[in-house]
Amino acid sequence: MKIGVDAMGGDFAPSAIVNGAVLAAKELPSGVSIVLIGQREAIQAVLDKENFTGSNIEITEATEVIEMGEHPVKAMQAKPNSSIGVGFKLLKTGQIDVFASAGNTGAMMVGSLFALKTIEGVQRPAIAGFAPQTDGNLAVMVDIGANADVKPEMLDQFGLLGSVYCKATTGIENPRVGLMNIGEEEEKGSLIVQQAYKIMKENPKINFVGNLEGKDFFKGKADVIVTDGFTGNILLKMGESLYGIMKNQGVENDFLDKTNYEAVGGSPIIGVNGNVVIAHGASSPTAIKNMINLCQQIVTSKVTDKIKEALV
């Protein structure tokens, strides 16, 4: 297995990215290696500083960098030899099994859509996030930012995508799927959510358990939380803020630790023909290490193939 990592993406690249790769490399099983994609000299300088002498990290040259503020489509077209551009070429040609970046999220979405294409039958790919639950598990949340505006049928499909992902990566045989809303009753919420409820309760491919309110978000009532990307992004970042607030007040416990974005390290783009993971722009070495572990889990689970099977 080869895990491709954009060494130039992120607020603290390349040092934080390469340092995280070194941390991960020390724990990866035999047969799994990391491919750092970016400017060779800059990457090697960090490896030398860390005195890394292992054989499970290699470098692939990419001379250009897509900055955080650049327009995704224009940047991908103007910088074909960027670390993100090269990463998608490697993924498309099978030279790496998964590609991850803490860089420009828009460019990662554009690369996924144009280089890999959407899986046949998927209306819109989504970004999956992870919400810690009071029962100790992590719920999969779809979507967390790719689709701010949705149709009822898309929410229904997010439930299926999230369900397949959850089953493949956690082993939960029949994941419970809940729909975020402003009330538990079927007739509550926007017209889009009301219609989605009707479709989801009739979908035999998912274990739909009904609406979830904001107060249920962390309560372990569902294994998969379905919402539009606008709401999902707000919920996820609100949850992440709890960690910073409590840490500043000197409060520590296991649940709060799981709200820290570093705990999982990344979010998979699901619904495209390949394994893609995006990470927080401010990712630390610890977050990058956990992102790489997530990448390994995604490849091992063969979740992309299982999504294709579920859509037949």
Where exactly does CATH 3.40.718.10 map onto the chain?
A: 1-122+271-302, 123-264
Q: Give the chain's mean pLDDT.
A: 93
Q: What is the pLDDT of residues 128-137, one digit of tens each?
A: 999 999 998 9
Query: Above 80 in pLDDT, residue 171?
Result: yes
DSSP-derived pairing of the beta strands 267-270 and 224-226:
unpaired
CATH of 123-264, one of 3.30.9.10, 1.20.1250.20, 3.40.50.150, 3.40.718.10: 3.40.718.10
Closest by CA to 273, choosing from 129, 122, 75, is: 122
Q: What is the pLDDT of residues 246-296, one digit of tens each?
A: 888 888 888 888 887 788 889 999 999 999 999 998 899 999 999 999 999
Average pLDDT over residues 170-176: 93
Q: What is the pLDDT of residues 204-215, one digit of tens each?
A: 999 999 999 999
Helix (H) or strand (E) holding 171: none
pLDDT at 200: 97
Is residue 280 within 8 A of residue 287, CB to CB? The reply is yes
pLDDT at 311: 87
Is the CATH number 3.40.718.10 carried by domain 1-122+271-302? yes
Closest by CA to 95, choosing from 6, 5, 2, 31, is: 2
Helix (H) or strand (E) holding 128: strand 126-132
pLDDT at 151: 97
DSSP-derived pairing of the beta strands 276-278 and 267-270:
antiparallel
Q: What is the pLDDT of residues 236-247, one digit of tens each?
A: 888 888 888 988
pLDDT at 243: 84
Closest by CA to 37, choosing from 82, 70, 103, 68, is: 82
**How many whole angstroms separate alpha carbon 114 and alpha carbon 243?**
36
